[in-house]
Amino acid sequence: MAESKNIWMWAAAALLCTTIGVSYLALNYQSQNARLQADYEGLLSDVEDLTVSNDLLIAQLIESQNAKLQAEYRAILPDVEDLTLGIDLLVAQASESQNANLQADYEVFLDDFEDITSSIGLLVAQASESQNANLQAAYEALLADVEDLTINIDLLIDYGDGNVVWLNDTRVPIDVNLLKALELLAEIEYTTSEYGAFVTKVDGIGDDPTKYWLWFWYDTEAESWAYGPSAADFWVLHDGDVVSWEYTAP
């Protein structure tokens, strides 16, 4: 019994000691937390004061820098304006000088161009005059050859509808027949037989069954028209002949 009682006493004492230790630790922890909280709040206050001071210093530094830059800008501005005026003056002088040089060069070029133009015009006139003379001589020579190789006739075409065409002073080859001469001067259609050629159309006219294409020659002695005495391809023309083709009823 006595031993059991001693055990419980020791247990109670140990529990009491533990309780006292824990209470001490708790009190110590609370005290330390309070101290740390106070230190933190003090530090936070210092940081805020430092931040405000830094912001103020930065603002003052920026303001000072801006004032310095503003002063430097104002100091350099007159120099820049003077330099700009100087550059503008130089540009104006250079432009004026350049314009004067260009004007002088243009006037020299214009004089040269006028001289060249006059020379070219003179050369062209001389060449044209020479060319015209050569062409005139060639034309006269060709005309002489044509006159030697051709004859001159007057040809009348009466289409039977009031449309009458005179082909006066018309040149045709020497020894050409009347059919060939008409073919040279108009579009024709014809048939041939042992009696010679028979014209059926001239320039598309010839569809009337009551009319025919007949030819006549002018008799200068009788001073009247006469029927062609043969087929047109058998009648050889001579210089000065006057002939006609008429679309008419026989």
Cα–Cα distance between 149 and 173 in angstroms, integer? 6
- Contact call for residues 177 and 151 (beta carbons, < 8 A): no
pLDDT digits 0-9 by tens, 18-51: 777 667 676 766 777 788 788 778 777 765 776 6
Token pair, residue 39, equals 């230190």
pLDDT digits 0-9 by tens, 112-135: 767 877 777 777 678 678 887 887
Give SS3 for 194: coil
CA of residue 160 relative to chain centroid, distance: 57
pLDDT at 87 > cutoff 80? no
pLDDT for position 135:
78
What is the bridge-based pairing of β-strands 164-173 and 150-158?
Answer: antiparallel
**Domain spans of the chain, in order of start:** 151-248
- Contact call for residues 201 and 189 (beta carbons, < 8 A): yes
- 224-227 β-sheet, strand order: 164-173, 150-158, 242-248, 212-219, 224-227
The torsion defined by the Cα of 90, 96, 97 and 100, in degrees rounded to 10, comes to: 180
pLDDT at 77 > cutoff 80? no
pLDDT for position 7:
72
CB proximity list for 204: less than 8 A, separation 6 or greater: 187
pLDDT for position 241:
98
CB proximity list for 108: less than 8 A, separation 6 or greater: none
Q: What are phi and psi of 243, to 5 degrees?
A: -130, 160
- Contact call for residues 246 and 214 (beta carbons, < 8 A): yes
CATH class for the region spanning 151-248: mainly beta
Q: What is the pTM of this model?
A: 0.46
pLDDT for position 107:
82
Token pair, residue 94, equals 């250079």
